[in-house]
Amino acid sequence: MDAVTVSPKFQVVIPQAVRESLGLEPGVRMQVLQYENRIEFIPQRPARALRGSLRGIDTAVVRDDDRT
């Protein structure tokens, strides 16, 4: 696990291994959440990036007889 230091301007550098693993590029916006005693950074991806992510999902739904 990598550790980072908070600068006097409250900035942190995301470790290279994490940046590469998540495919982060300069300028990517991050959503910041506080959860209990930790901070989470979540990359904001455009909705278009989800296109095709559900390909192959089974859309067959068993319906009740009284539904059409």
Closest CA to 17 of 2, 32, 39: 2
| Average pLDDT score, the chain | 89
- What are the residue ranges spanned by the domains of the chain? 1-47
pLDDT tens for 19-48 read 999 889 999 999 999 999 999 999 888 888
Least confident residue range of 14-18, 33-37, 52-56: 52-56
Q: Could you tell me the pTM of the whole model?
A: 0.60
Amino acid at 4: V
Least confident residue range of 14-18, 30-34, 39-43, 60-64: 60-64
- The DSSP string of 4-68 is ----TTS-----HHHHHHHT--TT--EEEEEETTEEEEEE---GGGGTTTTTT--------TT--
Q: What CATH code is assigned to 1-47?
A: 2.10.260
Confidence of residue 10 (pLDDT cuts 50, 70, 90): very high
